[in-house]
A and B are shown apart, each in its own frame.
Chain A
Amino acid sequence: MKQRALWSVILIAALAVAGCGSASAPDSESGGAGGKLVVWDWKSGEASAASYIEKAKADFAGKHRGVTVEFVAQPFEQYYTLLGAAIQAGKGPDVMLFNGGGQMRDRVDALLPLDEYVGEDKRRLAGWEAFTKDGKIYAAPVTLQGHPIYYNKSLYQKAGLDPERPATRWDEFVAHCAAITKATGAKCFAQGNKEGIGIQFFLSALGSGILSAQEYDDWIAGKRDWTSPGVKRVFSLWKEVNDQGLNNDGANSTAMFNDAFAVFQSGKASHVIGLMSDVGHWKDFAEFLDAANVGVMRSPVVTAGATPSLPYDGGIGYAVAKWTKDPKAAADLVRSLTSTDALKSFYADAGAIAADSTIDVTGAGPAVATIVSGIDGGKPALHVALSSKTVELMGRLSQQLLSGSVTVDEAMKQLAASDQAG
């Protein structure tokens, strides 16, 4: 009996311990040793990225003959959780993919500064700011992400407007919209604010046409004045656009992904603020509207004196882990992953604006050409500079502004409080 009791206790204890065991450890060993580099990302598993990876590997093999490279594609939803565990353990991949901005900046303690390795690429690639912290570069940009204003050229034509000369002033823009609505019934903006994303795109796309250059730069640098007339104008314009019936009906119950884009693609709205890479962009729209009919315009000037620019940041980029055994080889792999040849494939297959400004994009239609021409004078997007908490609050307030249950002044007050709290 006693023995049985003992056994059952041991068995239970063993079961309990096994049950307490955490999720399985990351499945790849820390590399670098034995001439092997491990790369983590969420892109390499996709068919559209195959030739990009192939070309990057070939380029790297030319430089480091004995080093093998293993790509481990992680599911995106769990990517940063898995990466966080690897970083806590101090071992994991040698090279890893990051979204630009906060996700990477929060983790620079585990990353190797790349300044000494990527010097040659600095001019060729754009979007470094999103991968820089305290003056040091931690990742090399692969794609760019931003918020161009797309418009439907065939609707412009139907309304008797010149599709090659979109409006440059706000009053002109509203007049164009009125003409298009009269001629075709299409609304001015395809707007989806169900998730509160509409305001983010609106703020970033039209911000450069509202804020002065100084105000814009201050905002990005963290000196945000929520009481300034410019910032207030962004939000009053947001409300005005909806009140004047420029948005599609039911903006608060339309999802940006992908109902709002569907409204634009089906010709029910003449403009949409979209993305540059991944989804909701020139390539998606061209499938429905034909590449020649998809135009891209700068923000119309809302406040006199503002200089509209393309809002964009580094989209995704590769970084090197601090613990890698051969930093030079790992950095070279990052350089191969951002080589012109490889990025060309990525742009063509995956439908992304690559970070490399020397890639020839003339074949992809006028929209891409306009976007790429704006990269040089572009600035970081306004909403990317905000904390996730403030962005969430802004989403909710933007819905309240549309429904009229909060005033612009009250919204500004709440946003200022949230922004200052960090």
Chain B
Amino acid sequence: MPRGSPSPVRPAAPGRAGGAGAGTPLAGPAPVGGSRRDRDGRRSERLAPYVLVAPAVLIIVVLRLWPLVLGVNFSFTGDGERNGAPVGLDNYTALLDDPLFRTALRNVGLLVLMLPIAVAIPGLLATFIYLRVPGHRLFRSVYFFPAVLSPVIVGAIFNLLMAYDGPLNAVLAHAGIGPVDWLGDPHVAVFAVVGVHVWATFGMALVVFLAGFATLDAALLDAARVDGASLPQTIRHVVVPGLTRTIQFVFITTMIGMLTSMFGLLYVMTGGGPEGSTYLPEYYIWVQQGQMNRPALASAASTALFVIMLVVGLLQISVLRRVGRDD
């Protein structure tokens, strides 16, 4: 049997190589050719899944993982005069020595501590809407409205409202309370910015809560009402237990929102100030890279932020998994 036989075989199975044996034997003894095609077919069947996932894997590797590796690698090189030279862990020690970066990390911790408030507000308001307080239809749209505004616009509005000689302080003065330098006092500014962020984003969480309420068993509420439960009792014993999963979901999404999308507000409202008290890691990265021309230090900070997010993400996954098991 001549070795160069495949070419006359080809036309017999143009489409699926897997259909071995189905082709009419055009050349050579049928059994030999058949087993060969069989082998080809099995191999391509083995390869097929890899080929099919290749685009996705390549995109992730080339556009995500490879840049990530480059970034981490870059964080071990120097800036300025030591541009490109390996400096070991110098950038990371510089980060830990930098009071600004420590403030940024402390502020992350502060955000985590304020998370329950950021979740309780939309939860409570959604409860009121669900329990049909008068005007609940109006409130539903009013509460959602800020969620459609961009952080830049929200920041600009609150810059005016919270200015030292702005309307908020004017109202406080009427009430006999001294002016508060909302954005100029380092102890107040971070709370002011987080407060504005919560105001601007709680509409989304509210909608999620309302969706959660839709799954709540109305019979339970009616039963509670018949039993003469007060509003706080209804919330404590009926609403909250029924919404455990929704509450957990809102916790996670709110956390992500706080850690990743406050840049616009910070940029517009405080610029990291006063006294660097409102720095968050992403703002710090931007300043080091764009303003201070220290890209390697910025990538060290990015790596640190990545690790933080990784830990937070893993915690969230484990929480979600536990919730899934409870089901």
Interface residue ranges, A against B (CB under 8 Å)? 1-2, 4-5, 8-9, 12-13, 16, 19-20, 194-196, 249-254, 259, 388-389, 392, 395-396, 399-400, 403, 405
Contacts and interface: CB of A to CB of B under 8 A. Distances in A.
Interface in B290-308: 291-293
A12 B273 contact: no
B139 interface: no
A405 B163 CA distance: 21
A31 to B, nearest CB: 29
6 contacts: A1-B18, A19-B63, A194-B183, A250-B164, A252-B273, A254-B164
B164 to A, nearest CB: 3
Closest 6 CB pairs of A and B: A250-B164, A253-B184, A252-B184, A253-B183, A1-B44, A5-B51
B292 A253 contact: no
A395 B164 CA distance: 20
B55 interface: yes
A403 B182 contact: no
B276 interface: yes
B273 A16 contact: no
Question: How would you classify the secondary structure of chain B's contact residues: helix, strand, loop or mixed?
Answer: loop
A43 to B, nearest CB: 22
Question: Which bracket fits the contact residues of B?
Answer: 35 or more
B257 interface: no
Given A250-B184, A253-B185, A389-B292, 7 more contacts: A2-B17, A16-B58, A16-B63, A19-B62, A252-B185, A259-B163, A399-B275
A199 to B, nearest CB: 12
A250 B51 contact: no
B276 A396 contact: yes
Contacts of B164: 249-250, 253-254
B271 interface: yes
A19 B47 CA distance: 26
B90 interface: no
Nearest to B169: A250
B71 interface: no
A249 B163 CA distance: 10
B212 interface: no
B273 A194 contact: yes
A405 B271 contact: no
A194 B47 contact: no
B23 interface: no
A221 B52 CA distance: 65
B186 interface: yes
Contacts of B100: 396
Contacts of A259: 163
B274 A8 contact: no
B185 A195 contact: no
A8 B275 contact: no
Contact of A16 (B16, B62, B163, B179): B62
A253 B51 contact: no
Contact of B275 (A2, A5, A388, A405): A405
Given A20-B62, A250-B163, A253-B164, A388 B291 contact: yes
Given A253-B182, A388-B291, A403-B275, A2 B44 contact: yes
Contacts of A399: 186, 273-275
B44 A195 contact: no
B44 A249 contact: no
Nearest to A16: B62
B106 to A, nearest CB: 15
A381 B58 CA distance: 54
Contacts of B291: 388, 392
Contacts of B274: 194, 252-253, 399, 403
A5 B53 CA distance: 11
Contacts of A400: 186, 275
A5 B49 CA distance: 10
A395 B272 CA distance: 11
Given A19-B62, A196-B273, A250-B163, A388 B293 contact: yes
B181 A253 contact: yes
A35 to B, nearest CB: 37
Contacts of B44: 1-2, 5
